[in-house]
Structure 1
Amino acid sequence: MSAETELSMSTETVSIEDVVLGMWRALSARDWEGLKTHLSDDCIYLDMPVGPAAAAKGPDDIVKRLKIGLEPLASYENFDGLLVENGSDAMYEHHEEWHWASGESAVLRFVSVHRVSGGKITLWKDYWDMSALANHAPPSWLEDFATADMSWVYDATGEV
């Protein structure tokens, strides 16, 4: 069997559920390299409260974006919820728990929308209440975000 045929068969046998939940397991473990394997080269990620003008595109920039919020945490965990799929699209209701070394913590409830093609996530949109984070995060959280590397910013207006 050729490598091309093998690759084609392997992507056909991977379910949307496996791709989406596999990505979330990698994120929950903050396994940045593992997370990238679930994202297409042109995947767009955005937090809907911020909007498409501050999206990230591609696995490397998506990880840069995610690290700003998650890497400084003392602990972070995603908790599974309802996953509904329809063709290439999936909606995933879940929650995350964030804990800072300074003692603050937050529970963030999400609905994430994913589009999967060829065994990879090509679009990832998170719908959540940003005030739930801002009301529980330490004061330094927004300051740290404001001084972070923003080279990942991609304007996805008109694409999502």
Structure 2
Amino acid sequence: MSADTMTVQDVVLGLWQALSARDWDGVKAHLSDDCIYLDVPVGPAAAAKGPDDIVKRLKIGLEPLASYENFSGLMVDDGSNAMYEHHEEWHWATGESAVLKFVSVHRVVDGKVSLWKDYWDMSALANHAPPSWLEDFATADMSWVYDATGEV
């Protein structure tokens, strides 16, 4: 399927299928060069911009997991923007697990995601993650941080 024949929903679902498989190159292939990723609970001052930095950001949380999976839900779109209700299941090697409910908003331009905003309850993660989770995050490579204040 070419970018011309792909729907917004095809692009968004392709991105999430790649992310669920932790196929980092597949994730990058769905993002525009100037795509902004915003984890809304963290705020726009800690966004990521561009496929490489977005993947760096995603890997901080997802790469250390023993298993991770996205479960599809309702998606609505207006032809260029999609709202996607879904949930993720995170499992750590130490036995902890969390179910995280999301609404993700995506803008798709020319067959690529150009804006990605995740709305979710961070306490659902913090309440179920291993005690070292925040410490690990605090010592992670933060070179991806992009201040998107005023852009999103």
User: Could you say whether these structures have the same fold, taking a TM-score greater than 0.5 normalized by the shorter chain as the test?
Assistant: yes
1:15 aligns with 2:1: no
For 2:92 and 2:38, locate their aligned partners in 1 and report how far apart those are by CA, in whole Å. Answer: 23
CA distance in structure 2 between the partners assigned to 1:11 and 1:97 by the alignment: 30
Q: Which residue is 1:152 aligned to?
A: 144
Q: Whole-Å Cα distance in 1 between the matches of residues 93 and 79 of structure 2?
A: 41
The 2-side partners of 1:75 and 1:10 are apart by 31
Percent identity (aligned): 85
Return 5+ residue gaps in structure 1 as ranges: 1-8
The secondary structure found in structure 1 opposite 2:88 is strand
Q: Distance in 2 between matches of 1:29 and 1:50?
A: 24
Distance 2:56 2:121 in 1: 22
C-alpha distance in 2, partners of 1:44/1:150? 16
Task: Look up the match of 2:119.
Answer: 127
| Structure with bigger gyration radius | 1
| Partner residue, 1:69 | 61
SS where residue 4 of structure 2 aligns?
Answer: helix
Residue deviations 1:103-122 (CA, integer Å, cap 9, x gap): 00000000000000000000
- For structure 2, the residue ranges without an aligned partner over 5 or more in a row are none
Structure 2 counterpart SS, 1:13:
coil
Query: Higher helix share goes to which structure?
Result: 1
| Structural mapping, 1:43-122, within 5 Å | 43-122=35-114
Deviation of residue 11 (structure 1)?
2.1
Aligned to 2:133: 141
> What SS class does the counterpart of residue 2 from structure 2 fall into?
helix
Q: TM-score when scaled to structure 2? A: 0.99
Q: Equivalents in 1 of 2:30, 2:54: separation in Å? A: 12
2:6 aligned partner, one-letter code: V
How far is 1:12 from its partner? 1.7
Provide TM-score, normalisation by structure 1. 0.94
Aligned-partner Cα distance in 1 for 2:55–2:90: 17
Equivalent position amino acid for 1:97 in 2: E
Q: How far off its partner does 1:144 sit? A: 0.3
